[in-house]
């Protein structure tokens, strides 16, 4: 029987006119049978630091006062062999020229980027359940379109590889919160921000543990922290 993986996806500054230069799409994934064990362990870190189970780990909440808690979460991610991370970075959205590509607008480009982010994770001999954080009122429409795009590009017309693609609330899922933390760190660095000392400490820990700058594409076969830096100038077809 093929192995089943859960993929937890999130995004940062994906809107076309949000006045943010860099965009990041990312995902944390793990084997389905390790899901509960990982969730319990992540809640234990919250309890250790005097936080309730319902405390939502978010990049926007990172402060110097809680930096040790967040650093322990980062170390746990790197120490656990069942957790993986992949991100697609668009360093400069101002360089996008959708009108140069017939039939392309920001939405269609967005779905293409989502596929590019996920395609390295997906293998035809495995099965996947993909969960995406609810961002806006168009979530249901986007999820249907994205499932169609992914299955079409995987030749998975019977949906045997991508079993499920579902919107969820991030505060209910520990792995989704971990994805938000890692994506937030990547985005913060690639926007050139450095005002928050706690966030900088987390970024440095990820750089140290991964061995990567977090601003460049990693090797395609990199499993733990796999990054793809997408540049508009290289996207001419």
Per-residue pLDDT tens for 181-234?
Answer: 999 999 999 999 999 999 999 999 999 999 999 999 999 889 999 999 987 654
CA distances in angstroms from 121 to 88, 101, 182, listed in the order given:
12, 27, 17
pLDDT value, residue 17: 55
pLDDT, position 93: 75
CA atoms within 13 Å, Cβ hemisphere of 23: 24
For residue 76, what pLDDT is reported?
A: 98
Q: What is 4-234's CATH number, 3.30.420.10, 3.30.1320.10, 3.30.360.10, 3.30.1360.70?
A: 3.30.420.10
Contact 92, 22 (CB under 8 A): yes
pLDDT of residue 236: 40
State how far the Cα of 87 lies from the Cα of 217, in Å rounded to an integer. Answer: 10
The pLDDT of residue 145 is: 81
Q: Which residue has the tokens 């996920």?
A: 118
Give the whole-angstrom CA distance, residue 124 versus residue 54: 36
Q: Which pLDDT score is estimated for 180?
A: 96
What is the predicted pLDDT for the residue at 148? 83
Positions in the chain short of pLDDT 50: 16, 234-237
Q: CA geometry: angle at 232 spanning 221 and 229, to 5°?
A: 30
> Residue 122 in contact with residue 153, Cβ under 8 Å?
no
């Amino acid at each position: 029987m093929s192995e089943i993986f859960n993929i937890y996806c999130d995004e940062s500054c994906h809107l076309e006119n949000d006045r943010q230069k860099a965009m990041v799409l990312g995902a944390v994934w793990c084997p389905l049978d390790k899901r509960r064990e990982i969730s319990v362990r992540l809640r234990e870190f919250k309890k250790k630091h005097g936080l309730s189970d319902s405390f939502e780990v978010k990049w926007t909440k990172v402060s110097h006062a809680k930096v040790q808690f967040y650093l322990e979460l980062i170390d746990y991610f790197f120490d656990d062999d069942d957790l993986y991370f992949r991100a697609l970075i668009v360093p400069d959205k101002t360089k996008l020229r959708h009108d140069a590509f017939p039939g392309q607008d920001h939405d269609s480009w967005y779905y293409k980027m989502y596929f590019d982010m996920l395609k390295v994770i997906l293998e035809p001999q495995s099965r996947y359940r993909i969960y995406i954080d609810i961002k806006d009122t168009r979530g249901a429409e986007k999820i249907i379109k994205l499932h169609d795009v992914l299955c079409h590009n995987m030749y998975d017309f019977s949906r045997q590889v991508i079993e499920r693609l579902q919107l969820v609330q991030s505060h209910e899922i520990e792995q989704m919160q971990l994805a938000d933390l890692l994506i937030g760190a990547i985005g913060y660095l690639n926007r050139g921000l450095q005002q928050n000392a706690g966030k900088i400490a987390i970024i440095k820990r990820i750089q140290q543990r991964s061995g990567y700058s977090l601003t460049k594409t990693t090797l395609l076969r990199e499993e733990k922290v796999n990054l793809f830096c997408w540049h508009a100038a290289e996207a001419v077809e």
